Amino acid sequence: MISSKNQTVFLSGTSEVMDITNNLFSELQKLDFKPTWYKKRFETNNLDAIEECLKNVEKSDRYILIIGRTYGSIYPKTGNSITEEEFKTALILNKPVLVFIKSEVYHQFKIFESLKRKSERFEISSNDLKSFGFDADIGVYEFILRVVNKRYHGIRKIPWMSEFNDIEDIISVVKDKWISKEFSYQISKISILGIQNAGKTAIIYSIFKNFLNYEGIVRNLRPTKGVERQHLKVLDHDINHFDFGGQRRYRDMYLRKPENFFLLTDIIFYVIDLQETLWYVESLDYFKEIIKKLKDVLIKNLWDVPPIIVMLHKYDPDLPKEKKEKIDEQVVLLKYSFREHAEGFDLFFFKTSIYDVSTIIECYSSALSLLFDKTKLIPCIFSEISKNQDILIMALFDSSGIIIGEYYLPSVHLSDKNKIYEFYLKVERRIKNEDRAKFRFSDAFKNGTPFSGVIEIIRIGQLHFYLLIITEGEFPQVEQKLKNKIENARPKIEEIISKIIPFELEN
């Protein structure tokens, strides 16, 4: 079972907020965290103490920053405050970070920010601020502005921020963000956006491909009216998919009330139809509007910035060569425009088509790996297991057919990889229907090389996973080899999955 037990939390703040920090220290201990903080670093001329302090940020599992009225002592090497250096270190090392800002300072910052936005070149002096009744160091507002417009070392994630009045405010956020959200039951929200006819609903159907007559349904889809919700359980996490109908009247409705629609989204899929070149501009405009509204909503509510997956869709496998080349050229420009509009967001691009389901699964699986960070471990282990051996492919699927981790020998051709995906989807259905624990098969790649593989069910608690291993050769020669591989992989996979799933499997 994963728990907050023994997770070290680095507390950072100037001496002004020492009371709060001390209080927080004992409150965190009550929650089984191991807080640390370094008073020695306030002696600015003691460079060793500061270096040591930064090392301790590195060693900590998590990081909390408390911002009050003072910017704090300066770290001579960079000219930034020591607290800002600590914050930077935590962010660069991708530690879970929470930032708390004293309420009054936060409200003053909002005014500071809007002044700055109105006149970027206009210098605001400390005296100006004092005359407005601002009572924190100007360095504090500037620091918060840097936090919000995060650009340190190319890291664009805005950390989770919250204003606070007292210690209770801080503790309730810590519980919400670090205890209830990460360590227990969690429902994720995926929003699927794009203009009319882009293929959003069809994509959802192909993710939920367990429908009978899937192809027939997808060809005869009607425009989605408003927002429709679809639920899917992956790796025992609940994921709600919000399919935002893309007709203009609905789009206007979402943009008018962005708070009602866009908040609390963990991932955004933005779908654009590559074949309808005439609608590119309309689609980009909609994207631009969404980003604008989203930014306002996020900043106002101090919410996390969700990653955006752009699905360059209807990139069908059987597109005529000429059309495909034209689209490929356009894609370069499209990507550029998307990036330009979505500064500050993490953008990922995938070319997809419902006529090559593997493209959608791959895109969706990558998106999920953003939700469940630890799934990245599986490909590493697979590559380890496959090393120096002639394993061509190793993949682990969840019972809904989503890839949790995969390893491909680099020489495996893309079209062969796709062939195997398609094949896998068919076999998976058979395994389920016939309630089998194992499935063996042999076939040949495009170039004639024979391959053989096994799909085996791994049961962990209530959950089922499918492990696929493919090697060159034919049965029965490869029988023993595959068996060894699976025996080798199984305990490691079980170990990782039990780390990913946030509750005790015995229950």
251 binds ligand GTP (CB under 6 A): no
Q: Are 284 and 331 in contact (CB under 8 A)?
A: no
224 binds Mg ion (CB under 5 A): yes
Q: What are phi and psi of 159, to 5 degrees?
A: -70, 170
CB of 225 to ligand GTP, least distance (A): 8
Q: Coil, strand, or helix at residue 316?
A: coil
Q: Which is nearer to ligand GTP, 112 or 250 (CB)?
A: 250
Residue among 414, 476, 405 nearest 445 (CA):
414
Residues 6+ apart with CB under 8 A from 249: none
Which residue in the set 64, 136, 140, 198 belongs to the binding site for ligand GTP (CB under 6 A)? 198
Torsion, Cα 328 331 333 334, to 10 degrees, reads: 160
Q: What are phi and psi of 229, to 5 degrees?
A: -110, 135
Q: Are 411 and 384 in contact (CB under 8 A)?
A: no
Q: Which is nearer to ligand GTP, 272 or 493 (CB)?
A: 272
200 binds ligand GTP (CB under 6 A): yes
Question: Whole-angstrom Cα distance, residue 232 to residue 364?
Answer: 12
- Stretches 85-93, 197-205, 400-408, 485-493: which one binds ligand GTP (CB under 6 A)? 197-205
Torsion, Cα 170 7 462 372, to 10 degrees, reads: 70
Picked from Mg ion, ligand GTP, none, the partner binding residue 453 (CB below 5 to 8 A depending on kind) is: none
Q: Which is nearer to Mg ion, 247 or 399 (CB)?
A: 247
CB of 225 to Mg ion, least distance (A): 9
191 binds ligand GTP (CB under 6 A): no
Which residue in the set 219, 229, 321, 426 belongs to the binding site for ligand GTP (CB under 6 A)? 219
Mode of pairing for the β-strands spanning 391-398 and 403-408: antiparallel
- Stretches 89-97, 172-180, 186-194, 200-208: which one binds Mg ion (CB under 5 A)? 200-208
Residues 127-146 that bind ligand GTP (CB under 6 A): none
Which residue in the set 16, 84, 236, 316 belongs to the binding site for ligand GTP (CB under 6 A)? 316
186 binds ligand GTP (CB under 6 A): no
How many Å separate Cα 456 from the centre of its chain?
Answer: 29
CB of 295 to ligand GTP, least distance (A): 23
- Stretches 127-135, 232-240, 310-318, 473-481: which one binds ligand GTP (CB under 6 A)? 310-318
CB atoms within 10 A of CB 59: 11
358 binds Mg ion (CB under 5 A): no
CB of 219 to ligand GTP, least distance (A): 5
CB of 364 to Mg ion, least distance (A): 17
Q: Give the Å distances, CA to CA, from 149 to 93, 126, 143, 146, 429.
A: 18, 21, 10, 5, 47
Q: Residue of minimal CB distance from ligand GTP?
A: 246
- What's the CA angle centered on 403, arms 430 and 355, to 5 degrees? 70
Cα of first residue to Cα of last residue in the chain, in angstroms, is 11
- What's the CA angle centered on 118, arms 110 and 155, to 5 degrees? 65
Q: Which is nearer to ligand GTP, 318 or 434 (CB)?
A: 318
Question: Whole-angstrom Cα distance, residue 240 to residue 188?
Answer: 6
CB of 233 to Mg ion, least distance (A): 22
CB atoms within 10 A of CB 238: 13
108 binds Mg ion (CB under 5 A): no
- Bond from prior residue into 223 cis (ω within 30 degrees of 0): no
In this structure, what token pair is assigned to residue 307? 């990653």
Picked from Mg ion, ligand GTP, none, the partner binding residue 251 (CB below 5 to 8 A depending on kind) is: none
CB of 267 to Mg ion, least distance (A): 18
CB of 298 to ligand GTP, least distance (A): 24
Picked from Mg ion, ligand GTP, none, the partner binding residue 196 (CB below 5 to 8 A depending on kind) is: ligand GTP
DSSP string, 400-424: TS-EEEEEE-TTS-HHHHHHHHHHH
Residues 230-249 that bind ligand GTP (CB under 6 A): 245-247
Q: Are 394 and 489 in contact (CB under 8 A)?
A: yes
Which residue in the set 188, 201, 359, 375 belongs to the binding site for Mg ion (CB under 5 A)? 201
Which residue in the set 28, 354, 357, 497 belongs to the binding site for ligand GTP (CB under 6 A)? 354
In this structure, what token pair is assigned to residue 480? 């023993």
The dihedral of CA 4, 67, 145, 296: what is its sign?
Answer: positive
218 binds ligand GTP (CB under 6 A): yes
Which long-range CB contacts under 8 A does 410-418 form with residues at least 24 apart?
A: 413/445, 413/446, 413/447, 415/446, 416/445, 416/446, 417/358, 417/393, 418/356, 418/358
196 binds ligand GTP (CB under 6 A): yes
Site string for ligand GTP, 437-476 (x = CB under 6 A): ----------------------------------------
In this structure, what token pair is assigned to residue 189? 């929200």
Q: Which is nearer to ligand GTP, 133 or 320 (CB)?
A: 320
Q: Which parts of this chain interact with ligand GTP (CB under 6 A)?
A: 194, 196-202, 218-219, 221, 223-224, 245-247, 313-314, 316, 353-355
Q: Which parts of this chain interact with Mg ion (CB under 5 A)?
A: 200-201, 224
